Amino acid sequence: MGQILYLLLQIYSYIIILDVILSWVIMANPNMGPMHTIKRFVDGLVEPALYPIRRALQPYTRDIPIDFSPIVLLLLISVLQRLVIRLIPY
């Protein structure tokens, strides 16, 4: 059970990284039609977790043009993975 949960968290981490990379690619070249479809799908997976973090960080990052919410979410997932390793038997 622990291995499965760990693996799911790892896959979700990769999806978050993919979301960040796609946002950079689309900003650099907005005329990439198929990429927008992929980005919308990935956003549907990632945004529900990122939105509360963005709201919590908003008072502190209002004047900074960088979105730190993916970094925070990746750190939280890393902590969860460590807890899974320690608390749930394989």
Q: What is the DSSP letter of 90?
A: -
Q: What is the pLDDT of residues 69-88, one digit of tens each?
A: 999 999 999 999 999 988 88
pTM of the model: 0.89
Structure tokens at 32: 């990439």
Q: What would the pLDDT profile of 13-40 be if each residue is shown by its tens digit?
A: 999 999 999 999 888 777 777 888 899 9
How big is the CA angle at 67 (ends 41 and 60), to the nearest 5 degrees?
140
Structure tokens at 64: 């900074």
For 62, which DSSP code?
Answer: T
What single string gives the DSSP state of each residue in 17-39? HHHHHHHHHHHH-TT-HHHHHHH
Q: Region 62-71: what's the mean pLDDT?
A: 92
Domain segments of the chain: what residues? 2-87
32: left (phi over 0), alpha (psi -120 to 50) or beta: beta
